[in-house]
Amino acid sequence: MSSLEIHQAETLHTTQDIVSHASIACRYGVFIGDLLLVNDHRFKVFKLKRDHIPHSIVMYDKDTVKTSDEAQTCEGWYRYALTNGYFQTLEEVFPKHFWNYDFDVYDFEYEILGLTERLDSLDLVNALDSEVTAAFVAQLQSGGDAFALVQEKVAAEALLRIASDDQEILDRDAAVLVEKNRALAAEAQEVLDRQGAITQEVSDRDDAVLVEKTRALAAEAQEI
């Protein structure tokens, strides 16, 4: 069995990137800018309130005048607390029992479920093409309404499907109409042919009668 080398430190600060080829475990949360990402039984995003001083700092030192201009991010307030000797960890600066004071909470559980349902609906109509996927990602990154984008795509694809179905119905109806017209034309021609035959038969019979009458008259005249 290979040996495992473990190093433990109370705090780690880096000025360059940290690259991990394995997992990163966080007991408390992940701070990004003015955001705190946590898994509190479901995925939540806590956004630091604007023009706000962390409640822990206010409670720790009520005598010193402070302004919200001291920092605008979670890391900024952490460094402020370190510099002034208030706290040594981010968890102390933003303890869980003060989250409601310091952050606006965004619970994405229902949004994720709704998005999943919409994506499932979209898959039934048409898969996301690369252009729509790129637009969807851009909406998410910019904080835009990606759900509206998906809904718009679903509606557009549904309209295309409806239009296609309507065109198919129109084509089918047109084919039926052409067939009906062809049948009517054939029937009409048959009637005309039959009528012509009847007319010719009547004409031939009349001609025969006329010839017979003429012959009879001629014979009668000959006798006289």
DSSP 11-57: ----SS----SS----SS-EEETTEEEEESSSEEEEEEPTT---HHH
**Alpha-carbon gap, residue 197 to 199, rounded angstroms:** 5
Is the predicted pLDDT of residue 204 greater than 90, yes or no? Answer: no
Indicate if the pLDDT at residue 47 is higher than 90: yes
- Report the residue count for the chain: 224
Q: What pLDDT does residue 199 have?
A: 75
Full-prediction pTM beyond 0.85? Answer: no
Q: What is the per-residue pLDDT across 124-155, written as a single tens digit (0 to 9) for each?
A: 445 555 666 666 666 655 655 555 666 666 66
* Candidate from 6-10, 96-100, 198-202, 217-221 with smallest mean pLDDT: 217-221
Higher pLDDT, 223 or 54: 54
Residues 180-204 have a mean pLDDT of 73
Q: Assign 123 a pLDDT band (cuts: 50, 70, 90).
A: low
| Nearest in space to 132 (alpha carbons), one of 109, 110, 148 | 148
Q: Where are the domains of the chain?
A: 1-107, 109-224
pLDDT at 86 (0 to 100): 95
**CA–CA separation, 180 vs 190, rounded Å?**
15
Q: H helices of the chain, where?
A: 55-60, 74-83, 90-93, 99-102, 109-125, 130-141, 146-223
pLDDT at 129: 59
* pLDDT at residue 140 in the model: 59
Q: Higher confidence at residue 123 or residue 113?
A: 113
User: What local confidence, expressed as pLDDT, does residue 155 receive?
Assistant: 66
Question: What local confidence, expressed as pLDDT, does residue 85 receive?
Answer: 93
**φ, ψ for residue 187 (rounded to 5)?**
-65, -40
Compute the mean pLDDT over every residue in the chain, rounded to the nearest whole number: 78
pLDDT recorded at residue 134: 66
